[in-house]
Amino acid sequence: MGSSTGYTLCGLVLSGLMACGFEAGTAAAQQPAASSEAPVEACQPPGSIPERGLLDRSLNLPMDIQALTMQAPGRDQPIRFADDVLLIHGDQRLNTDELIYDPETGEVVLPGWLNYSDALVRMQASSARYNTRSSTGEFLDVRYFIAGAQGAGHAGEVLMIDQSNARVRQFDFTTCDINDPDWQLKSGDVQLDFEAGVGTARHARLEFKGVPILYSPWLSFPLNDQRKSGFLYPQIGSSSDNGIDLAVPYYWNIATNQDATFTPRVIGERGFMLGSEYRLLTRRHGGSVHFDYLPDDNEADRDRWLGRIRYQARLAPDWSARLNFNRTSDQDYFLDLGDDLDSSSTPFLRSDLAITGQGRHWLLQTTFDTFQVLDRSVPPSRDPYSRLPRVELDGDWPLPANLSLRLDSEAVYFDRSEGVTGARVDLLPELAMRLVRPGWFLEPAAGLRATAYSLQDQSGDDDTPSRVQPILSVDGGLVFERETQSGRLQTLEPRAFYLYVPGEKQDDIPLFDTRELTFSFAQLFQTNRFSGADRQTDANQLALALTSRLLDDVDGRAIVDGSIGQIFFFDDPSVSLRPGPKESRSVSATVGEINWRPDDRFLLTAGLQWDPEESETDVAAFGLRWQGNDARQVQFGYRFRRDRVDQVDMRFRYPVTPKLNLISRVDYSFEDDTALELLGGIEYESCCWAIRASVRRFIRDRESEKRTAFFLELHLKGLGSLGRRPYRLFSQ
């Protein structure tokens, strides 16, 4: 009979109720709350929340009505079903004691209680009436549960105005225990437009522990998964030098492929700030524009701003473009307005534009990049060079007999306000043979590096220096395997790498983008110990290394892997960054590293560089990460570099109760005898809400001036967050 449409709309009405609770907070939920990983009990009684199923709403589906009693007085007379009535239509099920259908008027009446469920919702009501012809109806004293989620609530009355519009009175929603909710979203009058996919709530308020914390006389929200314009939840924070920090973002859904967010922000000691972000995405290109503006900063007595542009485009098959633009009004912007140690210690902002093309065996990239220096300790003569442009061509072409021809090349122009400027061309063609067999590999290679310059302001030296050096190398290794008594596989992998590069005088070549690389295990097998092309190391050396792994017999992951290696110098390297006496060495530092991961919850890493000639430690590093079965979590890190860094970083989360956690971080520098960052806080998490409060004190500048900041976040599960979320304490 024709009542199938009515029961379909019954599901739509409750889907709208679900949207009022769920979708109104979707945009605000862009700030995800950190999870403690602790098991938290469900709010609703077991069995009250159905599993989300598949919609099955075709009008061609048969409708099955079962009842112990059926009365059909005559043609065009109301049909009465009574006693354990069960109606099934697709994914919809309706249970009631009595159902009356009038084929003359098309009206369905349920004078008593009813239980309704479908793929999206479970509903209870005290009575209902629905007309299948006019698509109008009424449901009284509704109690609903959202399938696949903890969302539940009540509605005093649901009126179906027509097939596409409904009105709900005395509506509430929560993810807490529906009988004793800690928080509720309430509205006295909700209008639902299913055709437009929009709902409107009047006099909406959010209550926490019975206390209203948010109120809106008018609230619009989507009834589907489409984005909608509107205010997001406010963000609140505080710091010792900036005072109270309050932001209220507004989201503008411009079109299906573009949106914008405007964030009015009040910083107590500095004034009013406006943040804005525009995003665009199409099949061929996409990007964002971010601009924050603080007019007439009360503390700095000047306008402050930060601009960022991100853009990517597919120009043609195998060709793309990328823009990354960053600029700020002054060098102290992040010191004054940054939220953490990482942002306040930003040394420079890089902006670049790149156009890239690639084929099966080649890659061509043209880049333009510039830098804005934020570190006041860097003089103009030491500013990073702008590269306007830098053109790179890299290739790897296979040849017969296991041979391959490789090419690393670039042409770049370096520019800066002070110092030497000019162009550099660097070419490194290389012929290599790769032999790989079970248990061993061998790769001899021969290359020729040619570098030439055209310089300005060279102070009397040669304006066109050049350098040509052959590079010869042989890389080889063995792999031994054995099965342990536990069934796991253990490997032993010795490796040798010989490198020969004849010496070449390079002191007359300026340093544009070249630095000495940090020595590590990977450096044992590199053909140059410098980054950039301004220096090519000379070498007559042999690197020997040994690696061993213990592999899991189930998934093949490395449970333990360790490596150790050293370089033996047959001739002293003569190339350095600056003129001066050269260091004489017969061996490099011994480098070793080990990683132990017995399971997914534990990881231990350690590394060491030991100088055997001076009997001193050059570099040491130690890291530990552990995640308990509950909220317990620990991360510990230690870094040491001789005469430069001696620092420890400890982070932990400890559950005092199943719901209450303590969190802390200590980042301390022994070299400077000061704490770089201190953090302490609490996390309380129930089945439907969580609150996180933390106090952070961190160094904001090179003069060791410190900032104290306070963060508070109230997270209502299934709805969103109020306040400003602390930064993620633990890395993944």
CA separation for the pair 95, 503 (Å, rounded)? 90
Structure confidence at residue 732 (pLDDT): 55
Q: Average pLDDT in the 132-144 region?
A: 86
Q: Which residues pair with 189 in a beta bridge?
A: 169, 202
For residue 703, name the pLDDT band (cuts at 50, 70, 90).
Answer: low
Cα distance between residue 328 and residue 336, in whole Å: 12
Higher-pLDDT residue of 262 and 697 is 262
pLDDT (mean) for 234-239 = 82
Residue 145: the pLDDT is 84
Which H or E run includes 443? strand 440-456
- 433 pLDDT more than 90: yes
Question: Cβ neighbours of residue 643 under 8 Å, at least 6 residues apart?
Answer: none
Q: Are 43 and 183 in contact (CB under 8 A)?
A: no
Amino acid 1: pLDDT: 35
Provide the pairing of β-strand 348-358 with 362-373: antiparallel
Percent of the chain with pLDDT over 90: 54
Instruction: Return the pLDDT at 201.
Output: 86
Residue 340 is predicted with a pLDDT of 60
Query: In degrees rounded to 5, what are phi and psi of residue 553?
Result: -80, -10
Vertex 253, ends 247 and 256: CA angle to 5°? Answer: 145
Q: What percent of the chain has pLDDT over 70?
A: 89
Tokens of 189: 């009058």
Q: How far apart are CA 141 and CA 179, in angstroms?
A: 15
Helix (H, G, I), strand (E, B) or coil at 410: strand
Determine contact, residues 108/2, Cβ cutoff 8 Å: no
pLDDT of residue 47: 64
User: Could you state, in order of their start, the residue ranges of all structural domains in the chain?
Assistant: 4-228, 231-418, 425-627
pTM of the model: 0.77
Specify the residue for token string 């806080």.
Answer: 681
Nearest to 468 by CA among 428, 441, 497: 428
Task: Report the pLDDT value the prediction gives residue 223, as an integer from 0 to 100.
Answer: 61
In this structure, of 149-153, 183-187, 292-296, 550-554, the range with the lowest mean pLDDT score is: 149-153
Q: How confident is the model over 566-576, as a mean pLDDT?
A: 92
User: Residue 590 forms beta bridges with which residues?
Assistant: 610
Q: Give me the pLDDT at residue 491, please.
A: 96
Helix/strand/coil for 422: strand
Residue 131 neighbours by CB under 8 Å, 6+ apart: 6, 105, 106, 107, 108, 137
How many other CB atoms sit within 10 Å of the CB of residue 377?
8
Residue 118: per-residue pLDDT: 79
CB contact set of 432 (below 8 Å; sequence gap of 6+)? 403, 404, 406, 443, 444, 445, 446
Q: Which of 24-33, 78-87, 212-221 tops mean pLDDT?
A: 78-87
How many whole angstroms separate alpha carbon 332 and alpha carbon 268? 18
567 touches 585 (CB < 8 A): no
Contact 310, 281 (CB under 8 A): no
Q: In the structure, what pLDDT confidence band is assigned to residue 344 with cuts at 50, 70 and 90?
A: low
State yes or no: pLDDT of 635 exceeds 90: yes
Lowest mean pLDDT among 20-24, 158-162, 591-595: 20-24
pLDDT at 575 over 50: yes
Taking only the tens place, the pLDDT of each residue in 34-46 is 333 344 456 777 6
Q: Are 306 and 333 in contact (CB under 8 A)?
A: yes
CATH class given for the domain over 4-228: mainly beta
pLDDT of residue 188 exceeding 80: yes
**Tens digit of pLDDT for each residue in 456-480?**
987 767 889 999 999 999 999 999 9
Give the bridge partners for 452, in sequence order: 425, 466
- Give the pLDDT band of residue 701 (cuts 50, 70, 90): low
Q: Are 13 and 705 in contact (CB under 8 A)?
A: no
- Residue 290 token pair: 């971010």
Question: Which of 701, 679, 699, 681 lies closest to 690, judged by CA?
Answer: 681
436 CB-near residues (< 8 Å, 6+ apart): none
Tell me: pLDDT of 731 over 50. yes
Length, in residues, of the chain: 732
So what's the pLDDT on residue 7? 33
Mean of the pLDDT values across residues 679-706?
84
Q: What is the DSSP letter of 725?
A: P
Mean pLDDT of the chain: 86
pLDDT per position as a tens digit, 29-77: 333 333 333 444 567 776 676 677 677 766 677 878 899 999 988 777 8
Distance CA 299, CA 332 (A): 12
| pLDDT of 28 over the 50 cut | no
